[in-house]
Amino acid sequence: MATRSTPTVRQKRLGAELRKMRLAAGASTEYAAGLLGIDRTRLSNMESGIRPFSPERIRTLACNYACSDASYVNALVTMAKHRERGWWEHYRGTLPAGLLDIAELEWHATRVRTAQVMHVPGLLQTEEYARAVFAAVLPPLSRLEVELRVAHRMARRQVFDRPQPLPYIAYVHEAALRMPYGGAEVTRQQLLHLIAQSERHNIDVRIVPTGVGGFPGAGHALLYADGEVPELDTVQLDSAHGPDFTGAEAQLTKYRSHLDWMDNAALDPAASRDLVHSVAREL
């Protein structure tokens, strides 16, 4: 199988899960490589995502590692089977790889939850609002770079239009509604779009009012993507240098708690729409 010069976060995650399974079994790289009839270097490349795993090899390793969790193994096999080029690959070489990894993560997730404090979640943004968000980046992006990011962000919305739309829950702090990206009219149209999207059967928008005071993870933009099994969940955090991803169990547990807190603190969907309407009328 061909090597990959730049494996995606999803490809690296599959390799990391097989390495974790091997270590849990106390198996050496020599033993695992021998099971597959390959050398140690090739196995290391597979565990780092540089080379792909075939479904058959995953099942061979899982059996010999004595992994009895059939749901987990089947989920890994499913990851290995998905090798088609996604629409986001059209942007490879023109946009940072981390942005493409977000699109791939959303596409394969069984559900996405997001928490936003400074602006409306990307999947729910209008084109004009997204353009204003990207125009606020430092150092400033060129016009071409802004337009590429806007086009990519709009394309990510395909997850809502496929035969099985992505279940999506957005926890948005009230402060984000009041940030006038692009000016009052652009923001007002964005809020009306947010209300319309929130009425779709697969999308819940929950507003966290300013009256709740402080909250865990304040200021952090968070995306939590459910995998086919909880062990394959992934968290994506925004940072000044680009998106960060983690699937470590301790981090997953922490951010599940953050989202549970926001779920308890947020208004219900109907009250959330009322609050968004109120803010839009003030603009």
Please tell me whether residues 66 and 125 are part of one structural domain. Answer: no
Is the same domain home to 167 and 52?
Answer: no
pTM: 0.94
Is the CB of residue 137 less than 8 Å from the CB of residue 113? no
Residues in a beta bridge with 115: 171, 222
Query: Which residue in the block uniquely carries the two structure tokens 């929950």?
Result: 206
Tell whether 186 and 266 lie within a shared domain: yes
- For residue 56, what is the domain's CATH number? 1.10.260.40
CATH number at residue 223: 3.30.870
Q: Do 273 and 187 fall within a single domain?
A: yes
Strands 234-237 and 222-226, bridge-based pairing: antiparallel
Domain ranges, residue 219? 96-282
Residues 135-169: tens digit of each pLDDT: 999 999 999 999 999 999 999 999 999 999 999 99
In a domain, 2, yes or no: no
List the end-to-end C-alpha distance of the chain, in Å, as a whole number: 57
Q: Which of 124, 123, 150 is nearest to 136 (CA)?
A: 150
Burial 79-102 (b: 16+ CB within 10 A, else e): bbeeeeeeebeebeeebebbbbbb
For residue 271, is pLDDT > 70? Answer: yes
Distance from C-alpha of 263 to C-alpha of 195, rounded to nearest angstrom: 18
* Residue type, position 254, single letter: K
More confident: 85 or 96: 96
Q: Do 252 and 114 have their domain in common?
A: yes
Q: Per the structure, how many domains does the chain have?
A: 2
- Tell whether 263 and 219 lie within a shared domain: yes
Q: Which two tokens stand for residue 222?
A: 């968070």
110 in the same domain as 171: yes
pLDDT > 70 fraction of the chain, expressed in percent and rounded: 98
Same domain, 16 and 121: no
Identify the pLDDT of residue 4: 60
- Contact 94/146 with Cβ under 8 angstroms? no
